[in-house]
Amino acid sequence: MSKIVCIKIFIDKLKAEICKDYLSKEGIISYLNSDDCGGLEPQMAIQGIKLMVNEEDSKRALSLISDIETN
């Protein structure tokens, strides 16, 4: 069984969703984890929005995110 790890923490939910969607298009399953009551209380996301992936996908996912952040 694979371990789920956090590869990046976002302040902006939109940026987190964009990265999640991009990873999905590249074949990497990812999850967003936040404490904002399912988006109803965005001000509650004190710890940010965590982008989570399977540990074996983490290096590739970080590389892909780095590519889109620099472009």
pLDDT, tens digit, 9 for 90 and up, residues 16-68: 999 999 999 999 999 999 876 555 565 555 678 999 999 999 999 999 999 88
Residue with more model confidence, 1 or 4 = 4
User: Does residue 1 or residue 68 have the better pLDDT?
Assistant: 68
Nearest to 54 by CA among 2, 11, 19: 2
Domain 4-70: CATH superfamily, name plus number: Hypothetical protein rpa1041 (3.30.70.1530)
Return the structure tokens found at 38: 């399912």
pLDDT confidence of residue 42 = 57
pLDDT of residue 38: 55
